[in-house]
Amino acid sequence: MARLPARPILNEQEFNQLKLYSNSHKAEKRLTLRAQIILDWYEDLSYKSSALKNQVSEMVIAKWRRRFGQAKLDGLSDQYRSGKPAVITQAQRKRVMHLACAEPDNGKQKWSHKDISAKTGISASMVGVILSDAELKPHKTDYWCGKSPDPDFESKMFNIVGLYLDPPQNALVLSVDEKTQIQALDRTQPELPMQPGRARRLTNTYKRNGTANLIASLAVHTGEITARTMERNDSDNFLKFLKLLDRKYRLVELHIIVDNLSVHKNKDVLEWVNKKRKIHLHFTPTYSSWLNQIEIWFSILTRDVLKDAVWTSKKHLVDQMMLYIKNYNEKNAKPFAWTYGKDKLN
């Protein structure tokens, strides 16, 4: 056999694919190892150095260098090996797939591989293989937005999307909503901080220190957040917040997007808005609060501040949220790159 070159010749696509394999946490370990062996070769490492680095023998290094030299990336895949004939019949496969798609009869919501194995007499590992081949995932649930029953969905949707994409001149578009019942949870034992090789740890047991309600406004085209906490989520507090926005943005016309919560349509609220020629309320269609961009920011708040947090008091919770909002406005506020595809209309 011809002697292998000192270094392999890689084009950009091959190099990028090898880097992707070697850095992947999801690819099979054997493929990650083989990619790293070729990258070592590309970096002109010796057989011995690459073997020590990857904790394999020099014969393994030689094998995968040879395979790559013969077939490039295809050479890193396992070669076909003839094995024992299949012992699972087509009828058994169909039985497994049928069960996975049917409603469980044991009170559970979803079938597990173990449950299907008990029903069919096929090992749980083989059940997994059969379902994988059929691209069936009984453990997984995807969510989608159901069609709104609002007869005016299209006109309301186009109105809101129009405000996002082409706002009126000299006007400000505000997205407003409430995040309620934010629990100030403290742990019964002090948290154990993260250390090398060990994640941050919290006790499963906790104590409640009250709840907070947050009402917030997102200036859609600047990203600025205006927020206040309130004791109750009611029409009085919503009206107070509208008045705060009126004072804050005195010199511009306001188009305020809210959902269909009853406090937003309260008689006193609507009467006050009708007297304010500069303020216009726009209601999202029924079951379509996802159109309101403030929901995006609430998910950011949850991720950055609320998830797995420890609060020694309600004041502690409120103070940290307000500090986060202050820093967000100073450093991170910017418009969301929000899009709404035509395919979503069908």
CA distance 297 to 178: 12
* Residues 146 and 288: beta-carbon distance below 8 Å: no
Q: Please report the pLDDT score of residue 1 as a whole number.
A: 44
**pLDDT tens per residue across span 166-175:** 999 989 999 9
**Strand 206-219, strand 253-258: pairing:** unpaired
What confidence tier does 89 reach under pLDDT thresholds 50, 70, 90?
confident
Query: What kind and span of H or E run contains 119?
Result: helix 113-120
Contact between residue 122 and residue 88 where contact means Cβ atoms under 8 Å apart: yes
- Dihedral angle of Cα 264, 265, 269, 272, to the nearest 10 degrees: 120
Per-chain mean pLDDT for the chain: 87
- CA–CA separation, 228 and 230 (whole Å): 7
Q: How many CB atoms lie within 10 A of CB 164?
A: 19
| Nearest Cα to Cα of residue 137 among 127, 123, 147 | 127
Give pLDDT, residue 315.
Answer: 95
Q: What is the pLDDT of residues 206-246, one digit of tens each?
A: 788 899 999 999 999 999 999 999 999 999 999 999 999 99
pTM value > 0.75: no
Residues near 226 by beta carbon (within 8 Å), at least 6 away in sequence? 216, 217, 219, 244, 245, 248
What are the structure tokens assigned to 144, written together?
A: 């989608």
Backbone angles phi, psi at 37, to 5 degrees: -60, -40
Asked if 18 and 38 count as a contact pair (C-beta separation under 8 A), the reply is: yes
